[in-house]
Structure 1
Amino acid sequence: MKKIGFLSFGHWADHPAYTTKTAGDTLLQSIDLAVAAEEIGMDGAYFRVHHFAKQLASPFPLLAAIGAKTTKIEIGTGVIDMRYENPLYMVEDAGAADLISGGRLQLGISRGSPEQVIEGWRYFGYEPAAGESDADMGRKKGLEFFEQLKGVGFARPNPNPMFPNPPGLLRLEPFSPGLRERIWWGSASDATAVWAGKAGMNLQSSTLKFDESGKPFHIQQAEQIRLFKKAWKEAGHQREPRISVSRSIFALVSDQDRYYFGHEADRTDKTGILEADKRAIFGRSYAAEPDQLIKELAEDEAIREADTVLLTIPNTLGVDYNVRQLSALLKYVAPGLGWR
């Protein structure tokens, strides 16, 4: 069994073929899509976070709105770039959104990836400490956020407060019990997957990672996941971790599907330079008739290792089309793979 969610990058542009021509279109359609996804039996609605781009950025208003209009579906991110975040303020935002949803947030965070502008986090008022890289800063902020979700008091109370204080040191409010167990680290390397396992965060592995062996993407990703599981076990954490992988998967069941995605049927893994001189491998897209999709996906080792599959969606094609495509995957593909 797998949990199946969608992952939206939340693009918009004034393009004739787009139903999301403005930021407002994208935000409102994201809410509608999450509501519809819950109705057809999807397990999760996840959203990417990018700054300085015509894509979804500040996630918590959207997550809270979806939480208020749904009752069961998991609501998450994949991922929040911690280089841009104030960890303490983020604890408050996340706690509020999680309480509104009734404890359904699944927050993916990471040290960040190449963005639209050079060192964009500096415009947000952040810079690495002496001797730190921006990646170090992102991981440090991630750990601070993760630590504060324990809800332990740390701030010395004012002896003459406006309102009475409880005894002892004060914690951030609102506190949402259980949220800490629903934090995921987005990892693009074996080393950071091990780091996340030791820290006690769940693992999100995307459609790309650093090419560390030259093997096919799904095999490298499966090896990464196994290293994470080993680190988790050795750290002695008491619960079972969650692990997600993202895939672009399209069931070709209509002429419209074939028009949009039929050209992707022969796609293979790609390689490129992700940042500096680091070689990255990008996983292939899957687009085929349902029976062929089942055969191809059954060979994906990383999917077998994960408990959650996030389906990247073309959000610009609108709610109705994406609901039809997700419904086809649930109806024709997921049962054949044992995901349902």
Structure 2
Amino acid sequence: MTGPSSGAGAVTRRPSRLPSPMFVLRKCVAALLMLAFVVVVNFFLFRVLPGDPAKAFAPRGRNADPEALRELRDRLGLNDHWTVAFGKYVKSVLSGDLGVSFSQHAKVTDVIAERLWPTVLLSGTALVIAAVLGVWLGARAGWRQGSRFDKLSSNAAVTFYSMPEWLLGLVLLVFLNQYGIFPTRGMNDPRSTLPAWLDVLWHMVLPVTVLAVVYVAEYSLIMRSSILDERRADYLTTARAKGLRDDLVMRRHAMPNALLPSMTLFFLSMGFVVAGAITVETVFSWPGLGRLTYDALRGPDIPLLQGLFLVFSAGVIIMNLVADLLMPVLDPRVRAA
């Protein structure tokens, strides 16, 4: 009698490309623990901010009557002991209620939901453009190491990656504002005769350019480093020996493996898309979560700041979890490890 594996018709099972259930469970538990840690830090972090929210949001500001300020603090829960306030906060987070904004006089969840789409539109567009352009520039620079293109693109990438986003935005405003080519404030213009979608795209040109330039530099540097690690590999030498053109070797063989670090960066960057770019949105008065964060800090609007920080952190943690779960699928070496 022959074993099931010795016959001619034996079926060889291919290893699964999916991560093991235990691996998924470990990553999900780690993400939940990190989110719980964020909730704890989120509560205490904004309790130590300078300023008195009651005086900032009282009808008469700092000249308000002391009795009125005391009543306002009681109503806002600012006089509660930290243990009582922390218990209320955790209970509200678990129920999906992030409280009421001091400055917006509306539920924090509604305020954040209203500003979420402008931020996703702005940062998401810049991220997609930067990922495509940065990967192409980095791959070409790394494949032709030492060439004039490599030197120019690498030096430019290091320069722009080191430049603060708000500084680049201010430079564009100084040089372009005098010509009036592109709008420099807001998301749309009520006086515009353009269709609504085209007016929004026209207002996106400058802030998207600022964000994309910085993101392009990051992707270019990482992709260049990955290509340099792959370009001398044995499997590429074999591909060249088969008579394939050099550009074809890069596209078909080198780039799929070199893309893995850039893919990880892309998913991690998607988490920061929710956070948006606070400085860029502030410079260009873009009505997103970044500008909302800047306005909330001026209060300080504690419930709104806590809600924003929680949303930002949750976005990063979730996308980090997605990247961890996808990497074993994309790279067999991760499964083997």
Please indicate the TM-score interval, normalised by the length of the shorter structure: under 0.3
TM-score normalised to the size of structure 1?
0.22
Relative contact order (alpha carbons < 8 A, sep ≥ 6): 1 or 2 greater?
Answer: 2
Which structure dedicates a bigger proportion of its chain to strand?
A: 1
